[in-house]
Amino acid sequence: MSFKARVFDEPILEFGDGGHHIDPRQGLREFGPLQPRSGDVVNVGVIGTDDTVSGFTDFLGETGRGIESENKALINLNPDFPGLGNQNPFRCKFEVPDGATLKMSRSQVNEIRAIGRHDEAVRQAVAMVAEQLTALVESSVKPDVIVLALPIPLIEKLVNAKSEAAETMEGEEKGRRRGG
C-alpha cells in the first residue's frame, strides 16, 4: 500500500494491479497487495519524534540483517527470520532514504497531551500527522510507504483519554449513589 496525495473523499491507497481504494481491507480483497519487483527498494518515510524515528530506523536496519531464532529445538515452529534485505520473502529491500523523515517536536506532543477533550486531542493529532504526510508525499523523496512512529505518551493520550473520561464519569456516578 502507498499513500497518494488526493482529496480525502477519493481513494488514497494503492494496491496490486494499479487498484485504488480508501478502505485497506476492501482494497486488499479487490486488488490484492501492491507487489514490488524482485530486487526493488521500497523507500520508507517515517514520521515521529527524534527517539521514535531513530528507533524505527535502527529496527529496520537490524531486521534487514535477519533475526536468528532463539529456539533451535523447535526450529520448524520458530524459524530464523530471513531479514528485510533483497533475499527475503518480500523480494525487496526496505530503506529510509535521506530526507524521508519528519519529526514532531516534544512541544507538539505535549500540546496534544494537554488538551482536555478527547475528540479535540484526536483532531489536533490528525491535523498534525496529515500536514506531515502531505509534506512527505510532496517532497522530492516521495516515499513508497510512510510509517507513523508515534511516541507512547501520545498513543496513550489518544487511546486512553476516552476510557479515562468514561472511568471518571463512572466514578462520579458511584459517588453520587453513595451520597458522596
Q: For position 160, what pLDDT does the model report?
A: 78
Q: For position 90, what pLDDT does the model report?
A: 66
pLDDT over 90 at 152, yes or no: yes
Q: For position 10, what pLDDT does the model report?
A: 58
Q: For position 2, what pLDDT does the model report?
A: 47
**Which three cell numbers mark 72?**
533451535
Beta-carbon contacts of 79 under 8 Å, excluding residues fewer than 6 positions away, are 69
Reading phi first (left if > 0) and then psi (alpha if -120 to 50, else beta), residue 142 is in left
* Alpha-helix residue ranges (DSSP H) falling in 5-142: 24-31, 50-65, 106-114, 118-137
Burial class (CB in 10 A: 0-12, 13-18, 19+), 74: exposed
pLDDT digits (tens, 9 = 90+) for 99-146: 999 999 999 999 999 999 999 999 999 999 999 999 999 999 999 899
pLDDT digits (tens, 9 = 90+) for 42-86: 899 999 999 999 999 999 988 888 888 888 888 788 888 888 776
Pairing of strands 145-149, 40-48: parallel
pLDDT over 70 at 87, yes or no: no
* Structure letter (DSSP) for residue 3: B
CB contact at 8 A, 157 and 113: yes
pLDDT band at 38 (very low <50, low <70, confident <90, very high): low
Q: Which of 10-19, 112-121, 158-167 has the highest mean pLDDT?
A: 112-121
pLDDT band at 170 (very low <50, low <70, confident <90, very high): low
pLDDT band at 3 (very low <50, low <70, confident <90, very high): very low
Distance from C-alpha of 53 to C-alpha of 98, rounded to nearest angstrom: 12
Report the candidate in 51, 46, 50, 17 with the shortest Cα–Cα distance to residue 32: 17
Q: What is the pTM of this model?
A: 0.67
Q: For position 169, what pLDDT does the model report?
A: 55
Q: For position 104, what pLDDT does the model report?
A: 96
